[in-house]
Amino acid sequence: MSPSNRSDDPQVHDLVGVGFGPSNLALAIAIREANAGPRAAPVDSAVFLERQPRFGWHRGMLLDDTTMQVSFLKDLVTLRNPASEFSFLCYLQSRGRLTDFINHKNLFPSRVEFHDYLEWAAAQVDDLVRYAHEVVDVRPVWRDGELTHFDVAARTGACSTPPVVHRARNLVLGAGLRPHLPEGVTLDTRIWHNRDLLPNLRSLVPSAPARFVVVGAGQSAAEAVDHLHREFPRAEVCAVFSRYGYSPADDSSFANRIFDPAAVEEYFEAPQGVKEMMLAYHGNTNYSVVDQELIDALYRRVYQEKVRGVERLRMFNLSRLVETVRTPGGVRTVVESLVTNEKTVLDADVVVFATGYRPVDPFELLGEVAQVCQRDESGRALVERDYRLRTGPEVRAGIYLQGGTEHTHGISSSLLSNTAVRAAEILASISARTVVPDPAPDRHPEYACAPGTA
């Protein structure tokens, strides 16, 4: 039996992590390496709760020939500890591909390979993770007027099965992103978010679809268009986006400094007006942009089809999807030109919304505990430099965010670029804080079988 599936211990943990994507994986590795060092362990007991049955990160978009947008040196550990045995280079050595990768002369591994690296790293800290544990509630534990611990309830099976409760001195929320859809759109067997592209396509192969509609202007949208056009040579692929064309990502050396660890500090200290200016100036490094190489490839394909007189790749630019209606055979869509208001009806086998993601609201995850957290004038979480939620003085336990901090820490705050450094900062903060005595054991309250939150 895998260590991650053993019975849950009733002990009080120094740290409970909610979610186990790359961010909390990096934190688990930092804890493992710290505990292996000569100094006293800063976090003696940690556990991470993940609702998936095994490790997985954007599996639905592990398309052939797609590459990472960040250097392999920005892996889970290197910027924190270049000598770590959990680095991408150590992974390559363990797979017998180090020399081959060097000869490849490329800083950007394929997405499939990088996912394999993440799985390799996750397997080495498997004992810290409880897979198939869906967090359904977080309750505060009070002692003498102070909030000293959290009780984290996780569902491990059917709704009738009582949740397992973990008590924690610190909580680290790494629940990831939630797929974003236009208002009124509901996913089903023919209306997808690109997150599920690959698994959903497997059910379509025998049916030989005639037309796909892909909505969106970013990297994922362009990759979906490219993949569908190549894999279904008899199908028409219609790309719908409100821009004039796909916009290239600014990955120039100076602009890339926005992803440096130092940029987090500068953004955090900047006045609000400067924060807004930085996001406006440098949003094109990450949002709704496409690699230039892919843009050029798609344009060549469109032009070649015009030359041949058979146009399977159609670009509906300066347009928007205004209607999506399920039909017995697929989906009827209506595309409206933003210039002329002319409407085009497209009957599609599948509509793919590559419309991005939104961070999970930490207050949704925290439930009752959200009442002790402070917010800004816009209702967003106030977050300290060490990624700790700002709370009142009566709260001794810590709540840390791995994601949802762009408004306080900038574009790179939750991206892979800063994963290793962010994990180190969170671990250092937890280590530096005074450890409070454990409260006397009490009976855990009854937990309702609520919808999962992580």
Which tens digit of pLDDT belongs to each residue from 239-292? 999 999 999 999 899 988 999 999 999 999 999 999 999 988 888 888 889 999
Average pLDDT, stretch 402-416?
89
pLDDT at position 10 is 54
pLDDT at position 283 is 86
What is the SS3 assignment for 103? helix
pLDDT at position 176 is 85
Q: Which DSSP category does 282 fall into?
A: H
pLDDT digits (tens, 9 = 90+) for 3-36: 333 334 457 999 999 999 999 999 999 999 999 9
pTM of the model: 0.91
pLDDT digits (tens, 9 = 90+) for 220-234: 999 999 999 999 999
Identify the H or E element spanning 193.
strand 191-193
Q: Could you give the CA distance from residue 439 to residue 422 in angstroms, rounded to a whole number?
A: 30
Identify the H or E element spanning 313.
strand 313-316
Tokens of 452: 């999962």
From residue 140, how far is each of 153, 164, 391, 423 by CA, in Å? 11, 16, 13, 24
pLDDT at position 435 is 54
pLDDT digits (tens, 9 = 90+) for 340-365: 999 999 999 999 999 999 988 999 99
Is 74 buried (19+), middle (13-18) or exposed (0-12) by CB count in 10 A? buried
